[in-house]
Amino acid sequence: MFAKIIGELCIGFLTTLEIFALTLVFALPLGLVVCFAATRKFAPVRYLTRGVIWIVRGTPLMLQLLIVCYGPGLMGLPPVREPMIAVIVAFSLNYACYFAEIYRGGIAAVSAGQWEAGKALGLSRGRIFMRIVFPQVIKRILPPMSNEVITLVKDTSLANTIAVAEIIRCARNLTGTYAVDIMIPLLYAGAFYLVFVGLLTVVFNRLEKKLRG
């Protein structure tokens, strides 16, 4: 029975990993776009973006998830059929806004002299950003980023509120199937998170060392 519980939890954890990975794939670049929009000289774009960031960071992710999932249906639009899509959309938007703020701080911390030096060498703004500024930004933002990424691992459990079978939901379902105490599978699920976060911590520490050296 132990093996069966672990097996089921593994399947649930795959879904957890899927949410985690897809959110990062979309939110990391989207965050950069949001960051650029939030720092545009053109005031309407800047204020609009900052308003969105305010709303996204100022309300619970759970609420955003429910709105993305049920909002379209309630407004008479075609309802979201696949809850997983709602999860990825809500998570990507939410994390993009957090990442945007981290990027913003990182970019501001790179001295204006780096831009000037690049300009004086005849490089375009895009090139200067990609080849000169951004590599320095990555190095600076790694610690706050690793924090957000670790938070994301645990936030994935919110997906169970709209019936996505990630690991916590799996664990809860198991109580019915195998008539075990509810705490048992949940504690096992907790161990999955711990191990994964431990791995991520090691990876981030290595990265930080590598970029510093």
Q: Which parts of this chain interact with another protein (CB under 8 A)? A: 111, 113-114, 116-125, 127, 131-132, 135-136, 139
Minimum distance, C-beta of residue 113 to another protein, in the bound complex (Å): 4
Minimum distance, C-beta of residue 41 to another protein, in the bound complex (Å): 14
CB atoms within 10 A of CB 133: 19
Q: How far is CA 35 from CA 72, 108, 201, 208, in A?
A: 27, 11, 26, 23
Contact in structure between 110 and 136 (CB atoms under 8 Å): yes
| Cα 12-168-27 angle, rounded to 5 deg | 75
Minimum distance, C-beta of residue 148 to another protein, in the bound complex (Å): 23
Residue among 120 and 179 whose Cβ is closer to another protein: 120
Residue among 58 and 122 whose Cβ is closer to another protein: 122
Dist. CA 10–CA 17, nearest whole Å: 10
Minimum distance, C-beta of residue 211 to another protein, in the bound complex (Å): 8
Residue among 31 and 118 whose Cβ is closer to another protein: 118
